[in-house]
Amino acid sequence: MKVCNLIHFIQSIPHAKTVIPQILTGHEKPETGSDEVGSLNFSSKPQAVVLGGAFDLKTVEDLRAHVNKEGMGNGISWLARGPDADARLGPAGPVYAIKAAECVKGVLTRLNEQETLGKDKSIGTAASDD
């Protein structure tokens, strides 16, 4: 698996509802606004949408349903912060961010090895061993 590439960083639900369907088309450069973090390379469709602690599982489910309603959610793996994240990753801070990134990379690597990356229809949690 090649190194994971952060394409775009989103900080709000309304922005996510607008931008994620655009990004998943793989050919349209969305309005990035002030969230100019990531490669901003929208030339190919991503294989996964990874959402952090600001997005609880209910919000992730709602966002995924919205994206699917737009017809863009097929063939995408969704990862969300697991309910055990605090216990596994420790308190917020620089070490938390590093551990969270390692966890996400581990889950993406496992999905790739299982040949389900970009195909999984469930919402996985990036902080669990499941």
pLDDT 10s digit of each residue in the chain, 130 long?
Answer: 456 777 777 778 888 888 888 888 765 666 656 556 666 767 777 888 888 777 788 888 888 888 888 677 677 888 887 666 666 777 777 787 788 888 888 888 888 888 888 776 666 655 544 4
How many structural domains is the chain composed of? Answer: 1
Q: Is residue 31 part of a domain?
A: yes
* Other residues' Cβ atoms within 10 Å of the Cβ of residue 44: 10
Here the tokens at position 31 are 């309005």
Distance of CA 79 to the CA centre of its chain: 5
What pLDDT does residue 128 have?
Answer: 45
Q: Is residue 130 part of a domain?
A: no
Question: CA–CA distance from 53 to each of 13, 18, 26, 27 (Å)?
Answer: 12, 20, 26, 28
- What is the domain range of residue 19? 13-125
| Rounded CA separation 3/74 (Å) | 23
pTM: 0.75
| Rounded CA separation 56/59 (Å) | 5
Q: Is residue 95 part of a domain?
A: yes
User: Which of 20, 21, 55, 41 minimizes the C-alpha distance to 126?
Assistant: 55
What pLDDT does residue 83 have?
Answer: 67
Q: Is residue 19 part of a domain?
A: yes
Q: Is residue 3 part of a domain?
A: no
What pLDDT does residue 129 have?
Answer: 46
Element (H, E) at 48: strand 48-50
What pLDDT does residue 130 have?
Answer: 44
Q: Is residue 46 part of a domain?
A: yes
Type of residue at 76: I
Q: Is residue 4 part of a domain?
A: no
Q: Is residue 7 part of a domain?
A: no
Instruction: Kindly tell me the burial class for residue 115, based on how many C-beta atoms sit within 10 Å of its own C-beta (0-12, 13-18, 19 or more).
Output: exposed
